[in-house]
Amino acid sequence: MNYEIIGIIATSFIVLAFTRNGEKQIRILDLVGAMLFVVYGALIHSFSTILLNGILIGVQVFKLYRMKNDVTATEE
């Protein structure tokens, strides 16, 4: 199987994130791209790809969680 297609799709999500204006949209698209890159990295046995994108997943999840809680706190 040609794993390169997964890397190309992941890249597409990252590039698409750069075209968006809303922070939430950017973070979600980047999160999806990073998750796909982790899968791609695992398939090609690239620890650096897995490590970098694993860290980015953590950052994006944390930021999205904070955004959600900030919105909830201002609504109360």
Q: Which residue has the tokens 């955004």?
A: 67
pLDDT mean over 15-34: 96
CA distance 48 to 43: 13
Residue 55 tokens, joined: 């860290």
Average pLDDT, the chain: 93
Q: What is the residue extent of each domain of the chain? A: 4-75
pLDDT mean over 60-69: 94
Model pLDDT, residue 70: 84
CA distance 76 to 67: 15
The type of residue at 8 is I
**Which pTM does this prediction carry?**
0.88
pLDDT surpasses 90 at 48: yes
